[in-house]
Structure 1
Amino acid sequence: MLVAAAVCPCPPLLVPEVAAGAAPELDALRDACAEALGVLAAARPELLVVIGPADRAGRGPHPEGATGTFGDFGVDLGVRLGRDLAPAGAAPLPPSLSVGAWLLARAEWAGVPVEGLGVGEPLETGRCADTGRMLADRAERVALLVLGDGSACRTLKAPGYLDERAEAFDAAAARALGAADPDALLALDEALAYELKAAGRAPWQVLAGAARGAGLDGRLLYDDAPYGVGYLVAAWS
């Protein structure tokens, strides 16, 4: 059963070594993520699953101990998902889960088994919900760290350029996440999310599937669009 969730964006710029001189610009975002992870720890889960968007090579389950790197972003920095338990030959973490592993290490997460799951951005809403239900059934006390960005079309300089629909899409996602409303998350339009480059849509809908019937309350901790990308942080407990 799902007992808590933290929702965080996953830009590699969250990692100060990647952001370099621009690192202070996201200090408030890092603080909000730390607060959300504190809610996870307080829930005392038996299992933590880290979920994030991934391309085809990074999809599927990632065992505890799987490693990732920020080498593609010009930084010689490696991360590990939880304890060093991964079998030989485990696939590397996709960038989103590498950010999640970094957040957990920063929070000094320890003592609870951790697994990762990469989710394809085009995954249909129904399959997202089914995946979430299966995750919630994994243990009596399951927590999720859900990674994903909102639209990438909020300004002219955004990665996806300006799209007038982006602000309303992000606002709907923010309301759903702040209210811990699974039905509202499942109502997000997957085709529109794809057009707006909102990579968080599928992970958020996995969360929705896991949370149905759990009776959780939500708090929105951050809602802004630096660099023209919607970043949302929420805590459910």
Structure 2
Amino acid sequence: MLVAAAVCPCPPLLVPEVAAGAAPELDAARDACLDALGVLAAARPDLLVVVGPGDEGEAGFYPAGARGSFRGVGVGLDVALGDGRDGAPGGRPLPQSLAVGAWLLGRTRWTGAPVEGLVVDTRSGARQCAAAGADLARRAERVALLVVGDGSACRTLKAPGYLDERAAAFDHGATEALGSADLDALAALDPGLARELKAAGRAPWQLLGGAARSAGLAGRLLYEDAPYGVGYTVAAWS
């Protein structure tokens, strides 16, 4: 059963070494993420799963100890799910979203439950995501999720997806749903619109909604903003 969840964005810029001189601009987001992860630790789960978006080739489970890095963005920084001691040489490297999640856990010096990863194909439909979430919640008696994913990338003219007038409303609706643990509102997010707005977080968020269907969790919004024209939301469910 799902006992707690943390929702965080997953841009590589959350990592100060990647952001370099711009790092202070996301200090508030980093602090909110650490607060959300504190909720996971307090729940004392038997299993923690980091859930993030990815493409078809990245989708699926990643075992405890799986490794990733930020070398693709020019920084020689390596991360692992959990303490890294169980990582199998030659295993699939963590995609970007899970690497950011692993980095966040490393900042908290996570020593609790075993940590696994799950990448959700961004093309997955709402019902498929919800069903995957329900299955995930049954993996252990006490399951916690760190759900990473960004909102729209179309909030300003300089955003990665340029300006789309629909983006602010989409992000507002998603943020309201995540901040209040509104499962029906999460289920109603339009996958087609999310794809057009480059909101990769939609699929992981709908998986979270499916996992929480029988959990009775309450949500709390910790942060929302759109730096660099991309919607970032941090929330904690407990």
Which of the five TM-score ranges fits, normalised by the shorter chain? over 0.9
Cα deviation for residue 211 of structure 1 reads: 0.3
Look up the equivalent residue of 1:69 and give its one-letter code. Answer: S
* Identity of matched residues, %: 71
Look up the equivalent residue of 1:30 and give its one-letter code. Answer: R
SS of the counterpart of 1:233? strand
* Corresponding residue for residue 233 of structure 1: 234
* Corresponding residue for residue 76 of structure 1: 76
Cα deviation for residue 59 of structure 1 reads: 1.3
Contact 1:149 1:229 in 2 (8 A): yes
TM-score by length of 1: 0.99
Cα deviation for residue 56 of structure 1 reads: 2.6
Separation in 1 of the partners of 2:16 and 2:185?
33
SS of the counterpart of 2:28? helix
Contact 2:155 2:231 in 1 (8 A): yes
SS of the counterpart of 2:50? strand
Are residue 39 (structure 1) and residue 73 (structure 2) matched? no
Contact 1:48 1:114 in 2 (8 A): yes
Task: For residues 4-43 of structure 1, give each alpha carbon's deviation from its aligned partner in whole angstroms, at most 9, with x where no partner exists.
Answer: 0000000000000000000000000000000000000000
Separation in 1 of the partners of 2:214 and 2:57?
33
* Corresponding residue for residue 56 of structure 2: 56
SS of the counterpart of 2:118? strand
- Aligned pair count reads 237
* Corresponding residue for residue 126 of structure 2: 125
Cα deviation for residue 182 of structure 1 reads: 1.1
Look up the equivalent residue of 2:65 and give its one-letter code. Answer: G
* Corresponding residue for residue 174 of structure 2: 173
Are residue 204 (structure 1) and residue 205 (structure 2) matched? yes
SS of the counterpart of 1:56? coil
Q: Which moved more, 1:50-59 or 1:169-178?
A: 50-59
TM-score by length of 2: 0.98
SS of the counterpart of 2:157? coil
Separation in 1 of the partners of 2:195 and 2:77?
30
Contact 1:58 1:92 in 2 (8 A): no
* Corresponding residue for residue 10 of structure 1: 10
Contact 2:71 2:77 in 1 (8 A): yes
SS of the counterpart of 1:57? coil
Cα deviation for residue 57 of structure 1 reads: 2.8
Separation in 2 of the partners of 1:195 and 1:111?
38
Structure 1 segments of 4+ aligned residues over 4 angstroms from their partners: none
Separation in 2 of the partners of 1:186 and 1:11?
24
Trace 1:128-139 onto structure 2 (pairs within 5 A). Answer: 128-139=129-140
Look up the equivalent residue of 1:31 and give its one-letter code. Answer: D
* Corresponding residue for residue 141 of structure 1: 142
Contact 1:66 1:92 in 2 (8 A): yes
* Corresponding residue for residue 87 of structure 1: 88
Task: For residues 153-186 of structure 1, give each alpha carbon's deviation from its aligned partner in whole angstroms, at most 9, with x where no partner exists.
Answer: 0000000000000000000001101111111101
| Residue segments in structure 2 that go unaligned for 5+ positions in a row | none
Cα deviation for residue 54 of structure 1 reads: 1.2
Contact 1:32 1:222 in 2 (8 A): yes
Contact 2:41 2:112 in 1 (8 A): no
SS of the counterpart of 2:216? coil
